[in-house]
Amino acid sequence: MSYGNQPEQNPLGYPQQFYPPPQQKKSGGAGLWIGLAVVGGGLVVVVLACCGFIGYLAQPATASAAAKEPFSYADVPLPAFPERGEADNSQPGVVRHEISLGDEGGFYDPPGHGGYMSLLLPEGQHLPKSLPCILHTGAGTTLLHGVEMDGEGNPPEYMPYVKAGYAVLLYDMDGPSYGDDDMNEAFQAFKASRAGLVNARNAIELLIAKAPEVNPSQIYASGHSSAATHALLLAEHEPRLAGVIAYAPAVDLPKWFGPRLGVLRLLMPGVTDFVTQSSPSTHIARLKCPTLLFQAEDDTTCDIGETRIFADQLRAQGTAVTFIAVPTGGHYEAMVNEGLSAGVRWMQEHAK
């Protein structure tokens, strides 16, 4: 889910020949086995091997029963939280504090023991526990790697919240990827961070420890695209959240990845289980906090029909959900043009 122009069928940028044609059927491969069995021995071996590989890719990737369980990360220790950095007033109306967790680079042991956070506050004096706060991480990922918030492709979509009088805490997620060469290393780091949930947990703990202005009972999560998927997953795992705002999320990841999992499971060990376990649809029964879902009808990156189903399931289980659909704007512009203002209005209603 990048802000770029990658083809939707090939979001990781792999050469197209790695992807089996959509019409490829296992039965067709079996017929080819028989038809070419009368040819010379060497050719038969090659054909059988190729057809077996194609048949393997055509088989649906099946997750284990353990993938249906929620992530567990209580065993991952908290990092040492430093004092927040000196105030940066270079942006009008905004006070920014940079917070370094020590190491840099996006690959840490234990998970979450490095990277950066940024605390953004409205200008002025704030009483203790007077500010609701929004957790926010970067979009533009493939949902198989993390992100550094200051990286290219993460515009300041969080600024309207600060301008409206809320605190915002930005945080990195382990395992940023810079191309196909490091995709498996990035995946393993992101997987170890439990799809970034360790980083989000650390962000909440830092607010409690180092941000006296923030009301710990009014912490929300928001995000767009892959960050919206992460925000929903966080809301399903973190009962301390007061609400979640998701702009154009992918809510059913096994369905969103589809046949691509056939290739990915060859390249990334454990990816089938991970995609299922990190899918908001897997843990929807755990989503109890008020939820805002926003999406455009003409979004060609994430299926608004799946978001509607997700919203209906939330209503059926008694979760307070607001679902806003706009006719145009695609995957990104709709969020910029109409979604952010809707998110601020929703916050004004819920964070009182």
pLDDT at 130 over 50: yes
Q: Three-state secondary structure along the chain?
A: CCCCCCCCCCCCCCCHHHCCCCCCCHHHHHHHHHHCCCCCHHHHHHHHHHHHHHHHHHCCCCCCHHHHCCCCCCCCCCCCCCCCCCCECCCCCEEEEEEECCECCCCCCCCCCECEEEEEEECCCCCCCCEEEEEECCCCCCCCCEECCCCCCCCCCCHHHHHCCCEEEEECECCECCCHHHHHHHHHHHHHCCCCHHHHHHHHHHHHHHCCCEEEEEEEEEEECHHHHHHHHHHHHCCCEEEEEEECCCCCHHHHHCCHHHHHHHHCCCHHHHHHHCCHHHHHHHCCCCEEEEEECCCCCCCHHHHHHHHHHHHHCCCCEEEEEECCCCCCHHHHHHHHHHHHHHHHHHCC
pLDDT in tens, 37-63: 333 444 433 433 444 444 444 555 688
Q: Which of 12-16, 92-96, 131-135, 300-304 is predicted least confidently? A: 12-16
Q: Over 60: is that where the pLDDT of 11 sits?
A: no
Q: What does the mean pLDDT of the chain come to? A: 84
Residue 211 has pLDDT above 80, yes or no: yes
Percent of the chain with pLDDT over 90: 71
266 confidence band (pLDDT: 50, 70, 90): confident
More confident residue, 30 or 294: 294
pLDDT over 90 at 136, yes or no: yes
Q: How confident is the model at residue 85 (pLDDT cuts 50, 70, 90)?
A: confident
Q: What is the model's pLDDT at position 61?
A: 67
Which structural domains are found in the chain, ordered by start? 60-350 (3.40.50.1820)
